[in-house]
Amino acid sequence: MKTRIATLVMVFGLFVAVSALANDEPVPASKAVTISVSNHIADEIGYPEFAIKEKLECTVVVKLTIQEDGTFAVDAANCIDNRMRKHVIANIYKLDENADYYSQFAGQQVYLKIKFDLKLV
């Protein structure tokens, strides 16, 4: 009887330990993946017309997660100008031409800065 109780306690303890260690949080992407995603997004997102007309320069900071299908889900974005933030988010959600490549990095989280500088236009 004591053996059965000890076995049940050990199994329950193992179950609790495994459950506690199971983590659904995204894993930070490697430097190579971060650079690849950053370059891909920077190449695809254009300088919006309203920003050119208003001579608006800024940086949009984005935190995104690579989804199972290789597309990007924006977890957070921050910028001085709300229109620029919305422009970047909308364009990130449209990106899917390299989804097959990025699907191998599913679940990884990427932090990036997208700089809008009129000297680069």
* pTM, to two decimals: 0.76
C-beta of residue 100 within 8 angstroms of C-beta of residue 70: yes
Q: Check residue 27 and give its pLDDT.
A: 85
Q: Which residues contact 55 (CB under 8 A, 6 or more apart)?
A: 118
Contact between 65 and 72 under an 8 Å Cβ cutoff? The reply is yes
Radius of gyration of the chain (CA): 21
Rounded mean pLDDT of the chain?
Answer: 87
The CATH class that applies to domain 26-120 reads alpha beta
Write out pLDDT tens, residues 10-51.
766 666 555 555 556 678 888 999 999 999 999 999 999 999
Measured CA to CA, the distance from residue 57 to residue 116 in angstroms comes to: 5
pLDDT at res. 5: 72
Q: Quick one: pLDDT at residue 55? A: 94
pLDDT digits (tens, 9 = 90+) for 57-78: 999 999 999 999 999 999 999 9
Using alpha carbons, select from 75, 48, 72 the residue that is nearest to residue 62.
75
